[in-house]
Copies of this chain bind each other. A is one copy, B any other.
Amino acid sequence: MGSEQGLNDKQLWIMKQSLEVFAEKGFDATSVRDIAQRADVNVAMISYYFGSKEKLLEAIFLNHTNNMKNKIGAIIHSRVHDPLQKVDLLIDTYVDAIVENRSFHLLMMREQVLLKDGLLYNYIRDMKQHNRTLIEVAVKAGQKSGIFQKNIDVSFLAITLIGSINHFFSNYKYLCDAKAVPAEGDAYQAEVLEKLKNHLKVMYKAFLTYGITNKK
């Protein structure tokens, strides 16, 4: 049903390599010859296996959006019952998911703003819907148990959460510039990632529990 992509190793290899070039140069600026060179295959193989450069992109998107939806589903069914812990888990998961898929995240960030309809638009739309649902579940649980305030718009909450994380990653180099830190240092990157997570957790706790008097 479309999600059964039935991809062989060579196809997956080409998808992996081309994704990296797309992330580096952008989809439009990447030629099929760039891809062929990176993946060390003949140019004709892209058309042979995927039909076109556009369909190669679609295959990459289908692959990654499906993977992400599955990961998100796993959190929904996780047995963390404390609402604040659930929000923390959510923040950790999103940040980690992007770290693990930096290239795809970069590519998607760039392409999503121009899309108006079509396959790619639908893939992204469905994934975003999953995200909102996940946040909604956590928020409603917190409200039910009385520790979250009532006046919360889940859409805006998703926007500030995903928006903050996205902006952090797409502006990481500018941030390193501002702090006069080399952008390649793995130690600093791990440190600043923890700081980001912490900042978001504190900020969300402050907002979600705003006006609630702690009765413990």
Q: Is A174 in the interface zone, CB < 8 Å from B?
A: yes
Structural contact, B25 and A196, CB atoms closer than 8 A:
no
Q: Choose from B109, B113, B210 the contact partner of A206 (Cβ within 8 Å).
A: B210
Q: Choose from B25, B113, B168, B171 the contact partner of A106 (Cβ within 8 Å).
A: B113
A159 touching B167 in the complex, CB below 8 Å, given contacts A29-B28, A113-B109, A206-B206: yes
In Å, the complex CA distance between A156 and B202 comes to: 12
For residue A177, which residues in chain B have a CB less than 8 angstroms away from its CB?
125
For residue A125, which residues in chain B have a CB less than 8 angstroms away from its CB?
174, 177-178
Interface residues in A187-203 (C-beta closer than 8 Å to B)? 195-196, 199-200, 202-203
Structural contact, A153 and B199, CB atoms closer than 8 A:
yes
In Å, the complex CA distance between A24 and B153 comes to: 30
Interface residues in A103-118 (C-beta closer than 8 Å to B)? 106, 109-110, 112-114, 116
For residue A166, which residues in chain B have a CB less than 8 angstroms away from its CB?
163, 166-167
A24 CB → nearest B CB, Å: 8
Structural contact, A167 and B174, CB atoms closer than 8 A:
no
Structural contact, B163 and A168, CB atoms closer than 8 A:
yes
Q: Is A132 in the interface zone, CB < 8 Å from B?
A: yes
Q: Choose from B109, B155, B164, B174 the contact partner of A160 (Cβ within 8 Å).
A: B164
Structural contact, B159 and A164, CB atoms closer than 8 A:
yes
* Sample of 26 A–B contacts (CB below 8 Å): A25-B114, A26-B26, A26-B28, A28-B29, A110-B113, A110-B114, A112-B171, A124-B174, A125-B178, A128-B174, A128-B178, A132-B178, A151-B202, A153-B195, A155-B175, A155-B178, A159-B164, A159-B167, A159-B175, A160-B203, A162-B167, A163-B163, A163-B168, A164-B164, A164-B167, A166-B166
In Å, the complex CA distance between A165 and B29 comes to: 27
